[in-house]
Structure formats: structure tokens, C-alpha cells
A and B are shown apart, each in its own frame.
Chain A
Amino acid sequence: MISSSTIQSKPLVKVEKLAKHFPVTKGTIFSKKTGILKAVDGVSFQISAGETLGLVGESGCGKSTVGRTMLGLYQATGGSVEIGGHNIGSATGKEKAIIRRSSQMIFQDPFSSLNPRWSVNAIVSEPIRVHKIIKGKKAREERVAELLDLVGLSKRYMNRFPHEFSGGQRQRIGIARALASEPQFIICDEPIAALDVSIQAQVVNLLEDLQKKLGITYLFIAHDLSMVRHICTRVAVMYLGIIMELADSDQLFEDPRHPYTQALLSAVPIPDPEIARERERIVLGGDVPSPINLPGGCRFHTRCPIAREYCSRLAPVWRELKTGHWVYCHEVEPRFLPNE
């Protein structure tokens, strides 16, 4: 297992001030732009080879959009993404093919992410065909059998169709498909959220085993914080399109510094009645503001328990508290106020 302190290698993934804004339109034929939804509004992070970065936050915070924009499924509005030395935004032709081969995605819903009319063989072998990794039908089938074995499915299932499988098995097919192009980097977008509790652990263990065996780097997007703590080396907490705090996993869970992280962690249910009774919760007032009409200054100030008057005017600086522990807040000690 790679511990966070030993990761000094060059980062495999570099995300710099990434932004994705969606236009909000009114009308269908003569549609008029009426606003901008800032789903992702400038996030920066790096992922070293072989580590797992967790990206957490509540629904609508933009975590999935980050993942999709990183792989070019959405065109970025601003900023840059570099995977294995290739810039996604400026890549052309051949370079794009390399990036697509080396980075893959596992989706949340194993029901809608597999083509119901394709056999398992067709689904898993598609990346092999597209990227011309193995020539010849027979050889490809052998590779598919190998991949199915890797994810814990029998090769007898090769000619079956998605509807014949349970949710957990389908997720395994999705993982086999992602592995088919021999990627270095996989984005897991809520890979276990749709699964039963007893199946979640199976899939998480599989992802961990694959990382050990193949040295894959993960971006693990999730809202289940207990699972994130279990699987991730480092964790980034998002709120309204911005990363609020980023730190080593144990550090973040044991000593959260940002008031939002503190509130979020205190709300996670703990399956232990004794702890649950004694625990004190930090309750945030109000609802999450609309990303179409963001509050000025720090976007968390409307719900922040320690907000000061200037927080509604001044946007905080993304700063490093100590090695590897980043935070987006004026008030976290040592305090830091940008000039007005």
C-alpha cells in the first residue's frame, strides 16, 4: 500500500483552475441566455501516480462535473487538465486517442451505463477494438475472459446481456470495460452509490485490489464519507463549485479545519448507538444557495457559523496551512485576509 508520505513522484494528473459554466437559457426556438450556472468555478489539484484522491460534497456541488470535464466529456470553460503529460484542452488527433486510452471512467448507475443490446463480450471488448489494442476476434475474446476473471466474473457470462446480471455484477462489467484499454487513471463517479450495503464492500475491495495489482490512479467521487475515508489517500471537499479543503485523508477526518468540512463530517451517521448519542453536531442554517446566483465574497458565508462581515465582500485565497493541507477560508488559523 502506498502511504501518502511516500508519494513524492511527479503528479500523473494536474488540474489547474478548472472551470465549467453552463448557460441558462429561456425558450426553445429563439432561446435567450438568461444566466450562467457556475457548476465548477476554478478548482486546482494534483493526483500522484498510484494514489486515490477523494472528491466529496453534497449533491449539486459540482463534483461529477469536475470528473466529466477532466475527461473532456464537457468542454472546459477555463483552466487546464493534464493527464500523463498531455493537455486535454489542446490535444489533437493522436494525442486525444492516447488520453482516452489511458484514462477511463466508472459510472454510478450500472443499469444505464451498459448498452442493453450488447453482450458482455461486445461491451468489454469495445475499447480493445476501438484502440486497436489486440487484433483478431479470438485473441480479443481471450483478453475479455482475462478481464472478467480480474473483476471476479466467470468467462461463461461472456455472451450474456446486462439485464441478466445483478447491480453488483453489472458494476463489475463496467469496471472490466474500463480496464480493457489498460488505463493509468480511472475516474470513479459514485461507483457504489446504487449498490446494496453487502455488495458495496465487494466492489470497494475489488477497486483496491486492482490498484495494488495494476498501479492504477483513482479519482474517487462520492458522497459516502465513511467509504471515502476507507479508500482514499487524500480528500478534497467541494462546495458550490469550489474546493473548500484538501488534505491527507486521516488529517482531514481527524482535524478538519474548514467550517464546512467540520459541519459535513459531524452530520455523517456513525453506526454505533453510543457514539451517536454523545456526538455533537454542527448544524448549518439555511439551504445551499443556487449556483446560478452565487453569494459574493466567500460563497459559504451565508451558512458559515464563523462568518465575519468582510466574508461577504472578500473571496478567500486558496492557501496551504501546512504541507499538503489546503483550505479556502479567511478565518482558519492562522488567519489570512487578502487586501481589499
Chain B
Amino acid sequence: MENLKTLLDVNDLNVRFHTPEGIVYAVNGATFKVYEGETLALVGESGSGKSVSMMSILGLIPLPPGEINGGPAFYRNRNLLTLPEKDLIAVRGKEIALIFQDPMTSLNPVLTMGRQLTEAVIKHYHVTKSEARKKAMEFLELVGIPEARGRFSNYPHQFSGGMRQRVMIAMMLALKPSLLVADEPTTALDVTIQAKIVDLVKDIKQKIGMSMIWITHDLGVVAGLADRVIVMYAGTVVEEANVDDLYKKAKHPYTIALLAALPMINSRRGAERLKTIPGSPPNCHHLPTGCAFAPRCDFVQDQCWKCIPPLESVADDHFSACWVDVKTGALRS
């Protein structure tokens, strides 16, 4: 990985929210990098801080109730956490683009698709309306929307979920970003549509040579998409590895348990019981003093309750935050 250029470098990011019920510790010391041209998957269950960490870097968390500490988070040598709003706006969209889970709520329901698309084009390319129209039409065709000309005057509700997500991708394309952050973009879609969107994004990524962060809870999609995977739990990175190592040689007990809990479509019925992870994800109001996964962990030791394990190298380009060597069940030296 040394020969690759770092695009985004996030260090010790902490995000908390002040709520009437107390402080929610959403992200707790997340550290990760994104290299140029790669697809990084950010995997975790709901509340693991995967979305919040990206949102906070891009200044999309309202402060207060949010509070961001730690850092820096460098994007091409600029610390996004201290960048003035004016400069951040220039980064957002043009350099780092976002697509969201629900394409219905991220599109304006009372404006035509054409209007919303041309707006993005005019804003970022400084062209006239008719030129913008032409360009927008090209993008729609590129993302595979048939009869783009006719659909231009349609409203979002006249599109299906998969089509709306395509339009979102078309808008993103108009910006030609260096980094695309896709936050559960296919979770609301059916599997056949999901497969098409994944293919489309992969294809576009290749064409315009961008990097991508794919935020998801679905380990199935990640396997066919990512180069590198980061697993988050209770707001921290617990494991980081390239995609093959993560699925074949997972080192962190949480990753191992998560993979074992998945049924495989190519294994026969009733062969064995699904492995479960006991208990439920942690309450981010009161995180344990030690490792947040300790109460649910099969390998737990005394030390796990006392101090938080750091993210350490366990093999080439493979990091895990765990005191225990899962192979032997003993503490790591």
C-alpha cells in the first residue's frame, strides 16, 4: 500500500451528540485512510458510526447537538475539520460527492428531474442553460436511463427506486468527483436492481478514475465490490484488511462472528444452525470502559474489560483492534 497516494487521511476522529437523554458517543477515535483509485468499504451495524464519521468530515453534522473532536482529517493536504465553510462547500460535491440510501428523500419532489440535474451542472461547470441541458442529457444516457429526453420533464415520483438512484448517480457524475461516498446506496433496492447499480458504479469509477467509500451493513455486496474493508463497531475501527484477507482470514472476534452469522445461499438447507452473536449492539450512551465488544465476545479476557485495545498490525496490510490472538485464544504479546 506504500506506493499508493493517500487521498483521505482521518486520524482519531471523535464525534458525540448532546441529547436530552445524555451524550451519545457516536464515533470514538476512528482512524483510516483512503488511497487514490481504490474502493473502500465501511462496514458496520446500525449505530456503529460508519455514516456519522463520513458526515462529520464533510461538515454535514449540525453543531450543536454534534461535537467533533480529534483529527486531523486530511483531504489532499487540507484538514477538512478546520476548513472554513466556504471552502468546504467547494470540496463537497465537486471533489467529494455523496449519494444516499433513499433516493426519494434526497431529490426535491416538486422540481423536475431535468431542473435538478441542470442545476448541478450549471453550478459546477458555469455553462448556459441549454449547454447544461445537453450535458445533463448525456449523463442520463450514461447511467442507462432510456429515453432521457422524454424523462427530463418528469418528477421524482414518476421514477422507480432504481431509476432515482441512477439519477442521483448521474448528478454525481456531473461533478466528476475524486471521491464518491456512497451511504447504503442500494439498501432500499431489490437484489436485481442492486446488482445493476453496483455494476454501474463500478463501471463509472473505472471511467472517471475516482476513489470510492461504500458505507454498508451488507457483507455480501462488499465481497463483490471493495478492494479494502474497514469494520466498525461502537464508533471505532475494529478491523481493517484487503477484501480477500477479511473474508478468509478475519482476525477480530466481531468480524469472525459477523461472517459466521450469515447464511450462505450456496449451502444446503438445515445443514447447521446459524451462529449468533449474543446480546445486542452497545448502547452509545454508556460505552464500556474497555473493549466495546467484550460483553458479546467469545474470546473475552480480563484485560478486555479494563482498557480499549488499539488498532494494531497483525499481518501485512491487516489491522485488528483486539487484545486476544483468536488462533490461540490467549492474549497477544
A residues in contact (CB < 8 Å) with B: 1, 58-59, 166, 168-169, 196-202, 204-205, 208, 223, 225-227, 229-233, 249-250, 253, 263-265, 267-277, 279, 281, 283-284, 287-288
Closest residue of chain B to A279 (Cβ to Cβ) is B224
Task: Check A273 against B277 for contact (C-beta < 8 Å).
Answer: no
User: What are the interface flags for B259-274 relative to A under an 8 Å C-beta threshold, 1 for contact and 0 otherwise?
Assistant: 1011111111110011
Q: Which of chain B's residues 172-198 have a Cβ closer than 8 Å to chain A?
A: 190-196
User: B163 contacts which chain A residues (CB < 8 A)?
Assistant: 287
Partner of A283, one of B194, B196, B261: B196
Does any Cβ of A come within 8 Å of B252's Cβ?
no
The answer to whether A270 and B264 touch across the interface, beta carbons within 8 angstroms, is yes
- Neighbour of A169 across the interface among B267, B277, B280, CB < 8 A: B280
Inter-chain CA distance A58–B162, complex, in Å, is 12
With A201-B275, A250-B268 in contact, do A268 and B263 touch (Cβ < 8 Å)?
A: no
Pairs of residues from A and B, 7 with the lowest C-beta to C-beta distance, nearest first: A269-B220, A276-B224, A230-B263, A58-B190, A198-B277, A201-B274, A267-B195
Contacts of A272 in B (CB 8 A): 223, 247, 264
Q: Which residues of B contact A279 (CB under 8 A)?
A: 224
Q: A270 CA to B223 CA in the complex, in Å?
A: 7
Q: Is the CB of B190 within 8 A of A204?
A: no
Could you show 8 A-B contacts with beta carbons less than 8 Å apart?
A197-B262, A198-B257, A201-B261, A201-B274, A223-B190, A223-B191, A225-B191, A225-B265
* Residue in A208, A230, A279, A283 whose Cβ sees the most chain B Cβ within 10 Å: A230
The interface residues of chain A, by DSSP majority, are classed as: helix
Q: Are B192 and A264 neighbours in the complex by a CB distance under 8 Å?
A: yes
Size of B's binding interface in residues, CB under 8 A: 45
> Would you give the 0/1 interface string for B180-224, flagging 1 where the beta carbon is closer than 8 Å to chain A?
000000000011111110010000000000000000011111111
Across the interface, which residues of B come within 8 angstroms of A201, CB to CB?
261, 263, 274-277
CA distance A323 to B314 in the complex (A): 53
Q: A196-B217, A226-B263, A270-B220 are in contact. List 4 more A-B contacts (CB 8 A).
A: A200-B261, A226-B262, A229-B269, A267-B192
CB nearest to B227 among chain A residues: A273
Q: Is the CB of B122 closer than 8 A to any CB of chain A?
A: no
Q: Nearest residue in A to B159 (C-beta to C-beta)?
A: A287
Contact B258 A250 (CB under 8 A): no
Whether A268 touches B265, Cβ cut-off 8 Å, given contacts A196-B217, A273-B244, A276-B224, is: yes
